[in-house]
Amino acid sequence: MSISVVEVSGEKVKAMWDKRLIEIFYDICIKEILKGNRLEWKA
């Protein structure tokens, strides 16, 4: 299990990720990329 801290509306919230949630997140990302929705990274 992985824990990350994110800020939501100015408040820090812990997010807990297990293997199943990570796989769901990856599936969503892959589907969006295949639909042509990619983030534009600017350095």
Indicate whether 42 belongs to any domain.
no
What pLDDT is attached to residue 2?
Answer: 83
Indicate whether 40 belongs to any domain.
no
Indicate whether 39 belongs to any domain.
no
Cross-strand bridge partners of residue 7 = 12
The structural domain count of the chain equals: 1
pTM of the model: 0.61
Indicate whether 9 belongs to any domain.
yes
What pLDDT is attached to residue 19?
Answer: 92
What pLDDT is attached to residue 24?
Answer: 95
What pLDDT is attached to residue 26?
Answer: 94
Q: Is 18 helix (H, G, I), strand (E, B) or coil?
A: coil
Indicate whether 8 belongs to any domain.
yes
Indicate whether 14 belongs to any domain.
yes
Backbone angles phi, psi at 31, to 5 degrees: -60, -40
Indicate whether 17 belongs to any domain.
yes
8 Å CB contact between 19 and 2: no
What pLDDT is attached to residue 23?
Answer: 94
Provide the domain limits for residue 11.
2-34
Question: pLDDT, tens digit, for every residue of 1-43?
Answer: 788 888 889 999 988 889 999 999 999 999 999 999 987 777 6
